Chains A and B, each alone.
Chain A
């Protein structure tokens, strides 16, 4: 197998999550390489681009490095703010800006957000990252959570009504996609297109659960499970060889994730019928505990659990 000095992973929650992602599986396969996972849940492409630039400024990518960038949904707004949501300064990273009501409100979306503007912004940033990587020549790849063009898929979902309020200028988006076609071609098929959308079509859904921290609302978790991450790498990024036991480890870890991240039926009270909402968890201690777990790939043995931190860089904004 090829050797890398360092592995750099960038992205959103599809890169850095409660359980192992594609990035952790690659790091597991190259134990000699120093591993930097710079993913952040809810991150938009501005944050991802920003961290790539900063990482190169700090660590100076070389030909012996592996850099993989996982692009997120276009309809996100990542800003470094210093307000009551981030009293010590920090990124806004609440996912789709049309739905994120932690950092933004309806007024913000109405006044400052256009779908075509977000495409105009993000396509330039994807290009900027690729130019940097072409210049510095680490081995590098672009992968994606969803297609870079915002579609009405459930990948980074907002209802058609919300989208309509933005009065999208699809003509301008098409012009931009055409203009940046060379850049867009650099991005491999997305997790949603390759893995998740086909699974969504088959009901009943079989997924781990996710709980909202404040209210304990239980939903299906459509983040790829470890085995789905493994499958994605195997199919979409065959250039990066994985350790021979990855399949086996990923299967075992998947089982653990389903066990650990499923709220037992006796702890859920139904709220109202609906596909996207399983109900409310009656045990808030259980919910609290939910977020105290991070499963490092290859360490799924429950006795080793607790707060296992990934090999994060010392300082990165």
Chain B
């Protein structure tokens, strides 16, 4: 049996179906492992790919797809505010209060690129070595430091230099969601579901994470060779319609909080389980 491994951030493992779940639904005879992590950065992705290979021993019969995220994230295995040990993975570091003092003192754009570009090379090297079928997707263009806004200042010479050194690896990344699907504005597409865990004055904000339908559009655009069939397309449309109701304003008014719904949501009738599937950290 073929095995399918997916790695990435919340664009890979979320409260509703993602590109990975769509591919899994399209190829039901593949053994499916989703190691995406909400808020995860490229260091977590690198780490989990390496762990997964230690555990599963990838072969040339495996399909491994990696969705790379923006570089300005910090993945550390540490204690959280509640005293539990886990990946810190709070997403974009510039909007994460936990890392405020850390960002000011210990980070700089050059450091992020110097750290993350080798991660892409390392993962590609492993998958080349193991001769897996591999795809590399991207949430934003790698040149974009902050996931929420395109950079208005040109990258420094050091960043340009690094992008040049690692160009052969970066050329293997598909165009990003941000540019191909969202036209460089996360809220350019409507309608948007509400974000179950992000609110302003008690009102949930619209959620920029792609709906299943938008994930399908992305796959059609950057990886048509995956040949998503009609049955899967129908499923995606159905799931998208369901989530727009579930995470819509009317439902929020009715139930008050969408968190419980998000945590128990399914795709294709199966629970959406993240966090390493219990066999890797």
Q: Which A residues contact B (CB, under 8 angstroms)?
A: 46, 49-50, 53-54, 56-58, 79-83, 89, 107-108, 111-114, 116-117, 120-121, 123-124, 127-129, 131-132, 134-135, 169, 172, 176, 179-180, 182-183, 317
Asked if B3 CB lies within 8 Å of chain A CBs, one says no
Determine if B77 and A79 form an interchain contact, defined as CB atoms under 8 angstroms apart: no
Determine if B76 and A134 form an interchain contact, defined as CB atoms under 8 angstroms apart: no
Give the interface segment out of B21-29, B105-113, B260-268.
Answer: B105-113
Q: How large is the interface on B (under 10, 10 to 19, 20 to 34, 35 or more residues)?
A: 35 or more
The minimal Cβ–Cβ distance linking B12 to chain A, given in whole angstroms, is 18
Contact mask for chain B residues 112-136; partner A; CB cutoff 8 A; 1 contact, 0 none: 0011001001100110110000000
Interface centre among A46, A83, A317 (most CB of B within 10 A): A317
- Cα–Cα, bound, A124→B121 (Å): 14
Determine if B121 and A53 form an interchain contact, defined as CB atoms under 8 angstroms apart: yes
Q: A120-B281, A128-B46 are in contact. Are A50 and B165 (CB under 8 A)?
A: no
For A92, the closest partner residue in chain B by CB is B106
Give which listed residue, A107, A131, A172, contacts B129 with CB less than 8 A.
A131
Determine if A179 and B51 form an interchain contact, defined as CB atoms under 8 angstroms apart: yes
Chain B contact residues, majority secondary structure: helix
- Cα–Cα, bound, A76→B122 (Å): 21
Q: How many A-B residue pairs have CB under 8 A?
A: 103
The minimal Cβ–Cβ distance linking A195 to chain B, given in whole angstroms, is 30
- Cα–Cα, bound, A105→B106 (Å): 12
Q: Which B residues contact A (CB, under 8 angstroms)?
A: 43, 46-47, 50-51, 53-55, 76-79, 85, 101-102, 105-108, 110-111, 114-115, 118, 121-122, 125-126, 128-129, 158, 162, 165-166, 168-169, 281
Q: A81-B106, A82-B108 are in contact. Are A121 and B122 (CB under 8 A)?
A: no
The minimal Cβ–Cβ distance linking B45 to chain A, given in whole angstroms, is 11
Give which listed residue, B43, B118, B128, contacts A53 with CB less than 8 A.
B118
The minimal Cβ–Cβ distance linking A317 to chain B, given in whole angstroms, is 6
Determine if A54 and B129 form an interchain contact, defined as CB atoms under 8 angstroms apart: no
